[in-house]
Amino acid sequence: MTVQEYAGRLRDNISKVIKGKDEVIDLVLTAVLAGGNVLLEDVPGTGKTVLAKALAKSISGRFNRIQFTPDLLPSDITGIHFFDMKKQEFVFRPGPIFANILLADEINRATPRTQSALLECMEEKQTTVDGSRFAMPKPFIVIATQNPIETQGTYPLPEAQLDRFLIKLSVGYTDRQTEIEVLDNIRAAHPVDSLKPVTDVKELIEMSALVDMIKVNDAVRGYIADIGEATRTSSDIKLGLSTRGLIAVKKTAQARAALRGRDYVTPDDVKYVVPYAACHRIICRSAVMRDSASAKEEIIHSIVEKVPVPTERI
């Protein structure tokens, strides 16, 4: 089975509960197959939580949800050591972080200290508790949500945290006809409850390994590096793409190519994924533009259009 066929099977299954959002589903699958984490920023009620649940059910993976609140502690996420009276020793009780798909709901409502508990596991796929290291399950994907319109009681994600997300995207509202269908099909039981798995975590790991083998030639690697350099020298950008950011662009482009049925990355793959993999990693010089997603997108699109595209045979 090819990655394209595999992704198509997952997309069809998730589409049973997420209507009219094939491109969003494809982007999430792109990140999952690349082994990366996803940040969904959108208003409440657009299907962010349902999307995460549908993905977990589709791969028959362990799903945990953490509702981030200001009083949430790091130990509430990672787990704790407690003294077992029967065994007369300290035993580790794993926290909800130990899952294949972890939904970090409203992640920007937790304090920076609690948010930082996710840094190690998102990047290194492990967590350290009381000096002991514990590996995350494989695969381990964090899908985090945040609400862009509520500022009261929220803590902006620091650059280090944002950099751990492979892509950031918005789910958005559905079109009128799709919403009519949803209203017509709504039942007492949520459709995601009856969703059946179409694959397992073992097969997902195998497909991710195939994505890693997608070829990226010297010209395309140079193109990615040129885009990164352009973000660092832009007069509109205070902090450009880091090396980790460029790696994210490469990995996302590889997954995009695999979903399109190719075993090599083209410049068009890079151009498509850059806004999703780069916008949340840059900091604009203007205070007005700093937190504006649309302003960052315009800057990134402008940079991509100016960077020369390699023309040699891929």
Over residues 33-46, the pLDDT tens digits come to: 999 999 988 766 66
pLDDT reported for residue 204 = 93
pLDDT reported for residue 162 = 86
Q: How confident is the model at residue 313 (pLDDT cuts 50, 70, 90)?
A: low
Break the chain down into helix, strand, coil percent, rounded to 5.
Answer: 45, 15, 35
How far is Cα 285 from Cα 5, in angstroms, rounded to an integer?
Answer: 43
Share of the chain above pLDDT 90, in %: 42
Cβ atoms of 107 and 38 within 8 Å: the answer is no
Q: How confident is the model at residue 253 (pLDDT cuts 50, 70, 90)?
A: very high
pLDDT at 188 over 60: no
* CATH topology classification for 3-209: Rossmann fold (3.40.50)
Cβ atoms of 246 and 229 within 8 Å: the answer is no
pLDDT reported for residue 150 = 56
pLDDT at 217 over 90: yes
Least confidently predicted of 21-35, 102-116, 138-152, 263-277:
138-152
Q: Which CATH number fits domain 214-306: 1.20.140.10, 3.30.160.100, 1.10.240.10, 1.10.8.80?
A: 1.10.8.80
pLDDT reported for residue 151 = 58
- Residues of the chain within CATH 3.40.50.300 domain(s) are 3-209
Please provide the average confidence, as pLDDT, over all residues in the chain: 86
pLDDT reported for residue 266 = 94
Residue 301 corresponds to which tokens in the numbers above? 């699109």
pLDDT reported for residue 184 = 67
State whether residue 10 is helix, strand or coil.
Answer: helix
Least confidently predicted of 47-61, 94-108, 200-214:
47-61
Cis peptide bond N-terminal to 139, omega within 30: yes
Quote the pTM value: 0.87
DSSP bridge pairs for 169: 40
- Residues of the chain within CATH 1.10.8.80 domain(s) are 214-306
**Mean pLDDT, rounded, for 49-72:** 88
**Mean pLDDT, rounded, for 53-62:** 88
Least confidently predicted of 24-38, 118-132, 210-224:
118-132
Least confidently predicted of 120-124, 135-139, 220-224, 308-312:
308-312
Burial of 103 (0-12, 13-18, 19+ CB in 10 A): buried
Say which DSSP state 198 is in.
S
Say which DSSP state 237 is in.
E
Separation in Å, CA 287 to CA 150, 163, 183, 239: 19, 20, 41, 13
pLDDT reported for residue 153 = 62
pLDDT reported for residue 310 = 87
Q: How confident is the model at residue 149 (pLDDT cuts 50, 70, 90)?
A: low
Other beta carbons within 10 Å of 302? 12
How far is Cα 96 from Cα 146, in angstroms, rounded to an integer?
Answer: 19
